[in-house]
Each structure stands twice: as C-alpha cells, then as structure tokens.
Amino acid sequence: MDVRRLDLLRELAERGSVTAVAEATGRTPSAVSQQLKVLEREAGMPLTERSGRGVVLTSAGHALARSAADVAVALERATALWDEFRNHPSGEVSLVTFPTVGATLLPAVLTDLAEVAGLVVRATDLDPEAAEFADLTSDFDIVLAHTMPGVLPWGGRGLKAVPLLTEPLDIGLPADHRLAGRAHLTPADLVDETWLGVPPGFPFERILHAIEQQAGQRATVSQRFSDMRIIEAFIEAGLGIAFVPRFTSGAVPDSIVLKPLRGVASARQIVALVRPDVAERLAVRTVLDVLVARAARLEHAHAAV
C-alpha cells in the first residue's frame, strides 16, 4: 500500500470529511476521493461508506487508519535516527501557542533555537476552548495548550502531551482594593465581587464555578475577555477582579496586586501537544527539549522572587 494514500486515510479519520482533507493537503476533493478508491482496491475491501452528503470510515477503514498512524510513527522514527547519526535536527517546525505563553516563554525559546543551524520554527497564536486544542495538532507540529490539572480534554486522541508548567492562578485586584492587604483570599472573600471572566469553555471558568460552589451563591461576571492585557487594563480601572497567571502574565503593573487563592484548587496545566509520529522527528524533539528547559527556568525565576 502506498504510504501517501494511507496518510490520506488517517487524515480522513482525524478531520472527518473529504473536503477538510483536501483543504489540509492542498488537493481537490475529487483527487482525495480517487486516491482513497485506489487504496480500497489495494486493501481489497471497502474503507469508506456514504453518510448523508459525505463519507465515513468503515470498521476496516478505522483499523487501517490506526495502522497508518503506526506507519507514520515508524517512518518518522527512521528519519529521526538518521538525523541523530548526522547530529543535525534540521527542517521546519510549526508551532501554535496561546497568548500569555507566547509573550513570556516563546521569545526565549526561539532565541535559544536560533543557534541551531538549519532549524526553522514558524510560530503563531490562537486561544481556542480547551477541547479544541487537540484539533490544532492536525495543522501544527507542536500545540501549546492549557487546562485544569487532572482535566484532559484531549484524552483518547492518541496525542503525546509533554508537561511544561503547573501554573498557579492568583486573584488580580486594584492596588487600592479593600482586599489588597490580605495575605491570601478565600471564596467567601470573593463571591460578592464583580468579576472579569473568560469566554465560556475556557479553563479558568471551572475555578470560578468552584468558588461559587464553596460560597453557595453565584458570582457576578460583568465582562468576558480572552486577552490578559485587556483584563489587566480593566482591573487597573477598578472595573472588576480576575484570575491572573502567576508565571506567564508578564510584568504586572504596580496598580495591580496578585493574591493567592485558598480553599479551591487554582492552577492550570500547560503542556505541549504533539502527534505521535511528529514527536519522533529530531527537529520537533529539539524544540520540545528547549520548551521544557525554558519553562523550568521561568518557574524557578518566580520561585526565587
């Protein structure tokens, strides 16, 4: 069987439609369909079947798609072994990050990697709902994602998750706030405050729900933003309080104070998500190693303050 056709079958299993596979691979839908038909003839049994206006994989198609993933891993492992013999992690690595990590961690990572000849990292930023991070691995080699500890919205997808940071989420208050002098805060202190929230489905929302459960009443959320710069500007203006990441929020202005939260778990897990075949590439492993090292340095720097 042709490896390239097997890869198209795996793409169909992950993306769910011939049209999506065509867009991702730079082909026309008819070209994808033709290649899948050839693969079916090679396999000697139906791999897809009609479902409404599209097609879905048969049980045989799903089984072969899983085998295609194993083949892709083996091929990348062989390439990586050869790269190791040459001691040359060359090539292009695509990476997508969410904004706070992109601003605080990624510049140092790319500065370190600039010394590796022949290695190019192409980075961009997105901040989807937690469950959508896994989908980005179809289009990017490395996806920097965040979720609550113990919550794995990408579970069952067969992805490799490389831990980078467990980051406390503090409560950001205006410096002149009535609670600014406290050593720490509890749900009872906060439930009557006006909150600056995140879009529904974002990880921080779970902590606010936990605060509501502890305090026995609903919190008031006046505005919702995904960009920490906007949230900090609203805190400075006295328009509410919010969760602020301790390590990756950057330099917090003096007009804002950060207080740890007691009584509910208030942290997020930051990981790098990679498809198992992509994880075998020496260039990708090199980027992951630098991400892990720089994340450890960032955590250590804050622990030393």
Per residue in 40-96, pLDDT (tens digit) is: 787 777 878 888 777 888 888 788 777 777 777 666 776 666 565 555 677 899 999
User: What are 91-139's pLDDT values in tens digits?
Assistant: 899 999 998 999 999 999 999 999 898 899 999 999 887 778 988 998 8
Q: Which two tokens stand for residue 189?
A: 């202190």
User: What are 129-182's pLDDT values in tens digits?
Assistant: 777 898 899 889 999 999 988 888 888 888 999 999 999 999 999 999 999 999
Q: What does the pLDDT read at residue 48?
A: 81
Number of neighbouring beta carbons within 10 Å of residue 216: 9
Cα–Cα nearest to 261, from 226, 303, 214: 214
Q: Which CATH class is domain 167-268?
A: alpha beta
φ, ψ of residue 284 in degrees (nearest 5): -70, -45
Cα–Cα nearest to 298, from 149, 124, 146, 106: 106
Q: For residue 180, what are the CA distances in angstroms to 170, 200, 211, 251, 258?
A: 12, 28, 19, 18, 8
| Beta-bridge partner residues of 195 | 221, 241
Q: Name, of 14-18, 225-229, 231-235, the range with top average pLDDT.
A: 231-235
Q: What does the pLDDT read at residue 193?
A: 95
Tokens 């450890």 sit on residue = 296
Give the percent of the chain with pLDDT over 70: 93
Q: Which CATH class is domain 88-162+270-304?
A: alpha beta
Q: For residue 288, what are the CA distances in angstroms to 20, 35, 123, 142?
A: 28, 34, 14, 8
Q: Answer yes or no: same fold for 3-81 and 167-268.
A: no
3.30.300.30, 3.50.50.60, 2.40.110.10, 1.10.10.10: which CATH number matches 3-81? Answer: 1.10.10.10
**Domain segments of the chain as ranges:** 3-81, 88-162+270-304, 167-268
